[in-house]
A and B are shown apart, each in its own frame.
Chain A
Amino acid sequence: MLDHLWLIPVFPALAALICGVWGRRLQRRAGWVAIAAMLLSSALAASATAAFVGAPDRPPIRYVLFDWIQVGALQIPFSLLIDQLTVVMLVVVSFIGTLVFIYSTGYMKGDPGYARFFSFMSLFAAAMYLLVLADNFVVLFIGWEGVGLCSYLLIGYYMEKDWCADAGKKAFIVNRIGDLGFVLGIALIFAACGNLDISHVSQHAAERFEAAGWLITAATLLLFLGAIGKSAQIPLFVWLPDAMAGPTPVSALIHAATMVTAGVYMVARCNALFALAPVTMAVVGLIGAATALVAASIGLTQRDIKKVLAYSTVSQLGYMFMALGVGAFATGIFHLYTHAFFKGALFLCAGSVICALHHEQDMLHMGGLRKAMPVTWMTYLLATLAITGCPLTAGFFSKDEILWRAASAGSLLGWILWVIGLLSALMTAVYMFRSLYLTFHGPSRVEPEKRAHVRESPASMTLPLILLAAGSIMAGWIGLPQWLGGSRFEHFLEPVLRAGRESIAETAGHAFELAVTALSVAVFLAGWLVAHRFFLTGYPERAERAAQRFGFLYRLSANRWWWDDAYNAVIVRGFMHLTFCLGWLDQHVVDGLVNGTGRAAASLGDAFRWLQNGRVQFYAFAILRGVNVLILVLLYGHAGDLLAEVARFIEMGVILNR
């Protein structure tokens, strides 16, 4: 079985082909084809997981499928690698992916693009598998761009609506900026190492790069720019909230659980490189923290339930980068892993609600759905508890470990990150419970004609919800903090993420860790309490009064820190002006040159037009003069005579044409 693990991405790719080509004939069966492919891949992923969990120190399995590019010094084999980190990602992608596919058969029921949807989703799964399996930066890049392409296709799935198509384009274009950095980073690594196999580069990083030198700093910063784009960090996070234009299962799988975490995965995969560049690590941590804070603050005031979750995703990704920034690579991956469960669950719950309310996404038109949709409510509650860090849930362990790692890093940066992290955790608790209360509790604000039709979603949708909610609670139990016996998750990843380990202080005592944890729990409770007072018991008067009192802060949050407006004003408008200038240049200078060439030819023709006047006798005269010239030249060879003859001839022509 282990010899055939390279087949993991092949099954979904085949499903994408089948659904894409024979979609019309398959109709509803397209969903079954896609799910079958996902199950096959999941089985292979499970066997890989079993192999690595059973033998903790197993060396990585490497496959070289074929020699792909061989040009001089550039040798790029199509190589795949399975190690402990890959296994974690395989578990996330296959588990969440399969559940989302099953959910989609319910959510997309009756949609005219049903087969197209499953074709794109399968293609996404294939690209994502390739991304996590790649052992070569170029192969990784195929997966990287593949998931980006599928993201674009699925955001713009409802392409007949302009704003959906625009959101897809926005995601694609913003990601281009990051990808440019990524490609340049790969080029730098090739220039320094002469090899692009990640395992090879990681092994020889210390020999090839001077620690903390400018080369490794530049290379890692460029790689991180790619991660910023893909994982929606400041300043490139603006595409992710717009990406919610796609169908909700897409948001759950691509824009919450898997694709957007590719940046985190990539940084962790290159941990040997990043560990050599302390400046980059500080940048990673600070950008992560800033993103966590800004996105969480925006999430506080959004009305669209999917927008709340989108900003929450951005914020949580910031958390992951914060962990990576302090060198706690395993902790960042742990949060990636737990986040996939609860954010997947939250998005699918939101989809269930949106479906029941006939595509109503505004939380101010929801409320009181608890009774009508008990399963959705319960799973949303559990996932909310997980993301806000309720003790003993998955999110509690992962988020708490990030905060503890930051606090125990023993540097000023660590403390700054910790304070920002706590602040973001407080806001996370507030906005998540706000969304819970506004959607499921309080009086119903659903439009009357829809209210009677609100039903719990079918089993194909609730079953994935229940499984993901269970995961939200239990997935974290493999990563217990040290005062509960230490993290088996971290231990499992140790062979891959060795580089970060050295920079993490292990000496901090249990008392310190407990104190940090207690503070986190206090923050969780405070956030819950605030949300309870403002959005349940005192809603809406108290919330409105608060919005008025903190007018500027409210506007800052509601207008998303004017981030999009600033981009529009500076970049989009600037680009429009530039294109206008270039357009003028094209019309007047370039076209002028082209038209001028034509006009020059025409006037040259005009200058000689009198020669071709159609009069036979004029031609005879020209022949006579020509003969005269020849005779004179032959007899005397005087150039002056020749010129005189020509002048007489021209004079005659002018007279004739008068």
Chain B
Amino acid sequence: MDPVFFPANLLLSLAIFSLGVMGVLWHRNALSVFMSIELMLNAGNLALISFAQRFGDSAGAGLVLFVMTVAAAEAGVGLAIFIRLYRQRSTVELDKADELQG
């Protein structure tokens, strides 16, 4: 595989991460927020891979595997929580779930 222009990789990662952050902050639907979180995670993965390739150190690539595993587990737990949430109040809008306040 040809080495990709390194700064372009990082810029892409930054753009995806920022999109993820905006999604997390601005989407109301819990599933959308969840997907935005996945975006952020994968932006991080992209950055890790790029650095691993740039510096020839496979530790970064290894770490990505772990992140993907954790992300999958997290997705499972998160979706289960949303299903419970939906059964309780027939919606998964995050603005409606604000009982934990002072």
Contacts and interface: CB of A to CB of B under 8 A. Distances in A.
Interface in A198-252: none
29 contacts: A605-B102, A609-B102, A611-B102, A612-B101, A612-B102, A613-B98, A613-B101, A613-B102, A614-B97, A614-B98, A614-B99, A614-B100, A614-B101, A615-B94, A615-B95, A615-B98, A615-B101, A616-B94, A616-B97, A617-B24, A617-B25, A617-B26, A617-B33, A617-B94, A620-B24, A620-B25, A621-B25, A624-B21, A624-B25
Contacts of B102: 605, 609, 611-613
Contacts of A613: 98, 101-102
Interface in B17-64: 21, 24-26, 33
Interface string A623-638: 0100000000000000
A624 B97 CA distance: 21
Interface of B: 21, 24-26, 33, 94-95, 97-102
A613 B99 CA distance: 8
Contacts, number: 29
A628 to B, nearest CB: 11
State which size class the interface on A falls in.
10 to 19
A572 B95 CA distance: 68
Contacts of B95: 615
A614 B25 CA distance: 14
Chain A binding surface SS class: helix
A549 B24 CA distance: 108
Contacts of A620: 24-25
Nearest to B102: A612
A615 B96 CA distance: 9
Given A613-B102, A614-B98, A624-B25, 16 more contacts: A605-B102, A609-B102, A612-B102, A613-B98, A614-B97, A614-B99, A614-B101, A615-B101, A616-B97, A617-B24, A617-B25, A617-B26, A617-B94, A620-B25, A621-B25, A624-B21
Nearest to A624: B21
Nearest to A627: B21
Contacts of B99: 614
Contacts of B97: 614, 616
Contacts of A617: 24-26, 33, 94
A611 B24 CA distance: 19
Contacts of B98: 613-615
Contacts of B101: 612-615
A616 B24 CA distance: 10
A624 B102 CA distance: 22
A613 B21 CA distance: 20
A614 B99 CA distance: 6
Interface in A569-621: 605, 609, 611-617, 620-621
Most buried by B among A605, A609, A616, A621: A616
Contacts of A609: 102
Contacts of A615: 94-95, 98, 101
A610 to B, nearest CB: 9
B95 to A, nearest CB: 7
A611 B101 CA distance: 9
B23 to A, nearest CB: 10
A609 B100 CA distance: 12
A649 to B, nearest CB: 13
B80 to A, nearest CB: 17
A609 B101 CA distance: 8
Nearest to A611: B102
Interface string A9-48: 0000000000000000000000000000000000000000
Contacts of A621: 25
B88 to A, nearest CB: 16
B85 to A, nearest CB: 12
A183 to B, nearest CB: 58
